[in-house]
Amino acid sequence: MTLKQWLFIAVISKLEQPAPTISEVAKVTGNPRQNVKKMASLLEKQGFVALKKDERDARIVRIHLTPKCIAYFQNRSGKEEAFMSSLFDTFDHKLTDGLYEGIIKLADNVHRMENAMDEKERG
């Protein structure tokens, strides 16, 4: 599993509803809907998510975490906690906050650049 896939699943698991829509995940991550759909389709092929039409509105596709996905993360939780602890071992609160703010700015720049490229390609 790649870091990008890991982050994608982390976002889905942290959303308030158990099976968010593709559009909801796109909004939270700041990614275009088609990129979210592509990532979800790849993870579906690997058995980590299931894409299912909404029960009330067939136009809406929801992303469900599968039992395989839940088991995968449960089995890795200790390893991931140790990794994260080691990774941020020398970080104090100020440094962690600065890193967070920097990543948010980078994500905003990437999003802006992707939108500009999309407009150029359409143009």
The per-residue DSSP string of 15-58 comes to: SSSSS-BHHHHHHHHT--HHHHHHHHHHHHHTTSEEEEE-SS-T
Residue from 108, 100, 12 nearest 61 by CA = 12
Query: So what's the pLDDT on residue 59?
Result: 92
Query: So what's the pLDDT on residue 16?
Result: 75
Query: So what's the pLDDT on residue 107?
Result: 87
E strand or H helix at 77:
helix 67-87
The pTM for the full model equals 0.66
User: Taking the chain, what is the end-to-end CA distance rounded to the nearest angstrom?
Assistant: 36
Query: So what's the pLDDT on residue 91?
Result: 93
Query: So what's the pLDDT on residue 26?
Result: 92
Half-sphere exposure (CA, 13 Å, Cβ side) for 52? Answer: 11
Query: So what's the pLDDT on residue 81?
Result: 87
DSSP structural state of residue 123: -
**pLDDT < 70 positions in the chain:** 123
- Residue 31: CB atoms within 10 A of its CB come to 20
